[in-house]
Amino acid sequence: MSDSLASFGYELGLLKRVRRSGWWHAGVRDPESVGEHSLRAAQLAALIAAEEGASPERAAFLALWHDTQETRTGDLPLTAVEYLKKPEPREITADQTSSLPDRSRSLVRDAVDEYETRSSAEALCAKDADKLEMLLQALEYRDVGVQRVDEWIESAQKGLKTETARKIAEAALTLSPMSWRDR
């Protein structure tokens, strides 16, 4: 039991090294890692959920697990979808967690299933946080001179479902990424 949990812990560590590959298409030489993306997405999910009247803890938890399958696939950019069969996250998660103890296996699988089916307010908040994190990252990259980020910004805005996430996106578009220092 402990061996399988330790092994899975090592696998999850890969998320700190797997780069968000779509940013290479925009000209980012050293893009953020999936782990970095997931951390801010989880933090944003908690904030969005709090404002939407959902459970911040659950939304953050779902966001933490939303990209863990990328330890097995890497981060596939949108341009690859046309050529590759899109992996089913729940199938990958089932494989990743097959040797875990029952409670841990169910915990992870249930979180990924809830996120993928968007079957709760928390899952909607977590998905919005994923999109909003991408929008913020695009604005930060643009602020340091990366020019080809508009499609990421537009895609993120179109995908937002909650009123809170839409308002945060609107505000982010009017603020400088460094404006937090002035608050």
Question: CB of 21 within 8 A of CB of 75?
Answer: yes
HSE-up (13 A, CA, CB side) for residue 142: 18
Q: Tokens at residue 24, please?
A: 């290479």
- What is the per-residue pLDDT across 86-136, written as a single tens digit (0 to 9) for each? 789 999 999 999 999 999 999 999 999 999 999 999 999 999 999 999 999
pLDDT at 77: 86
Q: Tokens 């998905």 correspond to what residue?
A: 127
The strand pairing partners of 19, in sequence order, are 33
Q: Which residues 6+ apart lie within 8 Å of 109 measured at CB? A: 90, 93, 94, 97
Average pLDDT of the residues in 4-26: 96
pTM for this structure?
0.94
pLDDT at 121: 98
